[in-house]
Amino acid sequence: MTAEPLSSVTSAEPPKTRVMVVDDSVVIRGLVARWIAEVGKFDVVTTAANGRIAVEAVERFQPDIVLLDLEMPEMDGVAALPLLLKQKPGMRVIVVSTLTQRNAEISLKCLSMGAADYLAKPDGRHQVSASADFRRDLIEKLTIHAGSRARPVRVAPAAVVARPSIKPIATRPECLLIGASTGGPRAVEEVLGGLGSALRRVPILVVQHMPPMFTAVFAEHLQTQFGLRACEPTHGEPLSPGTIFIAPGGRHMGLSRTGSDVPVIRLDDTPPVNFCRPAVDVLFRDAAAVLGKAALAVVLTGMGADGTQGARALVKAGATVLAQDEATSTVWGMPGSIAKAGLAHDVLPLDAIGPALKGYITGSSS
């Protein structure tokens, strides 16, 4: 069995993003290929029934983006991923899996191995074909990565750090807030790693756009990685230094104060904000009201502008806001929106963010 060649771009057509669909189901391959072709911005150059066929097809078909199913015979997605990236460095691979805890764990592992993104699909062919949400998410992710594919997923830090838009605040932070989306899991991990001993000094609240199953697994991963308590919090749980609170997928996470004036976690199921739930804006707005200038926030890689309105409230309250730079972002949507709005105290490459946050938290630049 070999890869199946599909349409090809003629010289008269404008250049389109070249996509390869890898799935062991011929029905799903055909369905997804048709959806993608109907958009008009993509060229599905080939499909493959397993990882081995996909790896062999890369050199011939030169895809820009690969949709890679995880569960396949002969060679699954995990085994194929490093081989695909070796064949064409900088190619965007989006891993696709049904929403189970095991697949969430595997998907996060794939992100650490160099996959650009993940996509949760319904369980079963009928559910896939009937799911408008899956089709919308599929096209949205392809569009995101088509727009940013010229920049590798892993890049060197920017040579020049942008000047701060506004002067830093001297107040010692009492809480660290992190917002991220596409490319975020790996970025969040690197930022936390750069904090060093400052990890234990403040509560850390993270809003990462993820499905429900993924956020719980992400928390477990961070707890193992850093040896600190990392969890999806409960409603009303008080903030505690050295704890990483991950907003549960499908719920907003914010802050409020108890009768004793102690900040506590607030969870709710109100409608999405910026098409997101959890939303960074919700956390940032609450933090502006509850913590004021004692909040320290950073916005990492991600599509859209979630976090901008909340950052505006934080800056107005006297808090400090940092943003990741374009060169090291998978998608410079969310941090770019912060920077362009003039709300960032610093716009920094990813590897400089952790040390910068540590300086704010400890009161030292060393």
Give the catalytic positions in this structure: 181, 209, 306
Q: Which residues lie below 8 Å from residue 284, measured CB to CB, with a gap of 6+?
A: 177, 179, 297, 307, 309, 310, 311, 313, 314
- Phi/psi of residue 73, nearest 5 degrees: -75, 165
* Distance of alpha carbon 47 from alpha carbon 174, whole angstroms: 51
Give the residues across from 120 on adjacent strands.
Answer: 97
3-state secondary structure of 200: helix
Q: What is the largest CA-CA distance in the chain?
A: 70
Sequential DSSP letters for 38-92? HHSSEEEEEEESSHHHHHHHHHHH--SEEEEES--SSS-HHHHHHHHHHHSTT-E
Q: Are 36 and 139 in contact (CB under 8 A)?
A: yes
Q: Are 160 and 56 in contact (CB under 8 A)?
A: no
Using alpha carbons, select from 283, 258, 257 the residue that is nearest to residue 268. Answer: 283
Find the helix packing angle between 212-226 and 184-195, rounded to 10°: 30
Give the residues across from 96 on adjacent strands.
Answer: 69, 119
Give the residues across from 47 on adjacent strands.
Answer: 4, 21
Helices (H), the chain: 26-39, 51-61, 77-87, 101-113, 125-130, 132-148, 184-195, 212-226, 280-290, 308-316, 334-340, 350-362
Q: Are 244 and 206 in contact (CB under 8 A)?
A: yes
CA Rg, the chain, in Å?
21
